[in-house]
């Protein structure tokens, strides 16, 4: 046989039964390698007990909860059970009466409006009254009950009751207030899908409960007379966590995220088989674009501009309120205490300014004979009633103003004494000392 025949490959059948040059040591090394990859060594790092990990889950930020839920089955069961129940106990429902310019709210003073504008309700208990005696859950299983009862704060009721007694004196029509309360309780036809009425606060997050009145009625039932709110909390919390996670992902990329998330959720609730929902979908499509995109649609045709501008105003008002509430929820206790002290110092400064202005006006009136009211100077600019509405620039400006007043307070007091002494001297008649027995 020639060398060419020696180099030819063997037939396929004998080749399957021929050795390929591997001995027993090679086979053992291969098996050990496979076993090592299948059974990695146990980590030498310390492990936290499962009980501690489940306690940590209760303090995970709400916008990261769904990410932690994907770690393992134990985390999923803990988050769906006891962790969610802890969230429920920390939750707060916030109702919004309406914007400042809306009638009859425009008839109120600023301080009165701020006291009744938001209705706050806190968790009281889960509603297990529908359970029978045999199926009634034990105390440790209360988290399995779908309905929760929230109680409205007494402070709102006291202020609103005082206001309700004086409505006829203030010129406010009672039917207008009744209509406002009916909208808050989702009775009758509530205007506008996307109008902010009820939102949920959980730790540092605040979002709408839902957007259409029909969807809200499926989740929440409000009874202002009994001060109770019944909430289907499991569905609400699940939507809340999904929306908050979506918002967090968007906020890592660009601004206008809250508007984008609200528009997406409003679109998801629309039924395009309904005429009014198709109209709302069109209004959403012609809203000002977000993330710096150009607006290509032309101006609305005659007759539609009012409806479109009204829908834009609804969105602007909802975003403003939600942003304010989210900022309020994210403020620390130290920050709130600092701002409250700053507001207290500023009020004291305003009283000093008013006293100085009054004294200076009286002094000019005595000296030059002008009206004391015309001689007084203007007061300081008003501050937003809510601390969360104070911007960083406003806070820095007021801190500098208060600091200057505190350093000059002694001089201001001395100047006030001089002015008051001069006023008393000018108030005396010219012959006031003629009858005094004196050698001078």
Q: What digits encode the pLDDT tens for the residues 102-155?
A: 877 888 888 888 888 899 999 998 877 655 444 555 554 667 788 899 999 988
- Between residues 92 and 104, which one has the greater pLDDT? 92
CA–CA dist 260, 77 (Å, integer)? 31
Nearest alpha carbon to residue 199 among 121, 145, 277: 121
Query: Quick check: 41 pLDDT over 90?
Result: no
Nearest alpha carbon to residue 339 among 379, 382, 393, 399: 399
Determine the average pLDDT of the residues in 186-201. Answer: 76
SS3 93: strand
CA dihedral 23, 29, 30, 36 (to 10 degrees): 170
Sorting pLDDT into bands at 50, 70 and 90, what band is 314?
A: confident
Residues 6+ apart with CB under 8 A from 329: 201, 203, 204, 205, 206
Determine the average pLDDT of the residues in 79-106. Answer: 88
Residues 6+ apart with CB under 8 A from 1: none
Contact in structure between 94 and 199 (CB atoms under 8 Å): yes
CA–CA dist 264, 230 (Å, integer)? 27
Residue 166: predicted pLDDT:
61
Can you give the pTM of this predicted structure? 0.62
Lowest mean pLDDT among 113-117, 220-224, 342-346, 432-436: 432-436
Q: What percent of the chain has pLDDT over 70?
A: 73
Residue 123: predicted pLDDT:
93
Residue 21: predicted pLDDT:
60
Residues 6+ apart with CB under 8 A from 36: none
CA–CA dist 217, 232 (Å, integer)? 10
Q: What percent of the chain has pLDDT over 90?
A: 7
Residue 133: predicted pLDDT:
45
Lowest mean pLDDT among 68-77, 91-100, 165-174: 165-174
Lowest mean pLDDT among 66-80, 197-211, 279-293, 297-311: 297-311
Query: Quick check: 346 pLDDT over 50?
Result: yes
Residue 285: predicted pLDDT:
78
CA–CA dist 46, 53 (Å, integer)? 13
Lowest mean pLDDT among 51-55, 400-404, 422-426: 422-426
Q: Which residue has the tokens 């969230």?
A: 87
Per residue in 321-330, pLDDT (tens digit) is 888 888 888 8
Residue 167: predicted pLDDT:
56
Sorting pLDDT into bands at 50, 70 and 90, what band is 159?
A: confident
Per residue in 63-77, pLDDT (tens digit) is 899 988 888 888 888
Q: Give the chain's mean pLDDT.
A: 77
Residue 303: predicted pLDDT:
46
Query: Quick check: 91 pLDDT over 90?
Result: yes
- Between residues 300 and 67, which one has the greater pLDDT? 67
Residue 305: predicted pLDDT:
52
Distance linking the first and last C-alpha atoms of the chain: 158
């Amino acid at each position: 046989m020639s060398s060419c025949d020696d180099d030819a490959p063997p037939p396929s059948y004998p080749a399957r039964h021929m050795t390929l040059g591997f001995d027993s040591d090679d086979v053992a090394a291969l098996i050990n390698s496979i076993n090592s990859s299948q059974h990695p060594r146990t980590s030498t790092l310390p492990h936290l007990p499962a009980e501690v990990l489940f306690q940590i889950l209760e303090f995970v930020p709400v916008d990261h909860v769904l990410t932690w839920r994907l770690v393992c089955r134990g985390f999923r069961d803990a988050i769906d059970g006891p962790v969610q129940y802890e969230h429920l106990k920390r939750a707060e429902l916030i109702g919004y009466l309406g914007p400042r310019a809306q009638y009859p709210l425009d008839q109120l003073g600023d301080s009165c409006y701020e006291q009744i504008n938001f209705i706050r309700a806190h968790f009281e208990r889960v509603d297990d009254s529908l359970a029978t005696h045999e199926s009634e859950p034990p105390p440790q299983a209360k988290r399995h009950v779908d309905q929760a009862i929230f109680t409205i704060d007494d402070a709102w009721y006291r202020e609103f009751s005082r206001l309700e007694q004086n409505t006829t004196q203030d010129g406010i029509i009672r039917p207008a207030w009744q209509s406002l309360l009916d909208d808050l309780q989702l009775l009758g036809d509530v205007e506008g899908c996307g109008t902010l009425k009820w939102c949920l606060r959980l730790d540092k997050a605040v979002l709408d409960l839902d957007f259409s009145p029909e969807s809200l009625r499926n989740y929440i039932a409000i009874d202002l007379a009994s001060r109770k709110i019944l909430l289907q909390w499991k569905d609400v919390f699940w939507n809340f966590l999904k929306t908050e996670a979506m918002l967090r992902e968007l906020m890592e990329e660009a601004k206008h995220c809250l508007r984008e998330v609200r528009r997406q959720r409003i679109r998801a609730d629309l039924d395009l088989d309904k005429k009014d929902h198709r109209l709302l979908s069109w209004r959403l499509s012609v809203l000002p674009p977000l993330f710096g995109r150009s607006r290509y649609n032309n101006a609305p045709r005659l007759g539609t501009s009012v409806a479109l501008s009204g829908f834009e105003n609804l969105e602007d008002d909802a975003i403003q309120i939600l942003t304010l509430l989210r900022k309020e929820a994210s403020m620390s206790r130290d920050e709130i205490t600092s701002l409250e002290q700053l507001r207290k110092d500023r009020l004291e400064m305003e009283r000093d300014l008013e006293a100085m202005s009054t004294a200076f006006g009286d002094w000019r009136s005595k000296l030059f004979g002008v009206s004391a009211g015309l001689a007084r100077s203007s007061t300081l600019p008003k501050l937003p009633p809510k601390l969360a509405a104070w911007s960083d620039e406003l806070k820095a400006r007021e801190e500098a103003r208060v600091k200057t007043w505190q350093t000059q307070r002694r001089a201001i007091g001395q100047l006030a004494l001089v002015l008051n002494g001069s006023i008393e001297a000018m108030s005396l008649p010219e012959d006031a000392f003629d009858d005094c027995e004196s050698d001078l």
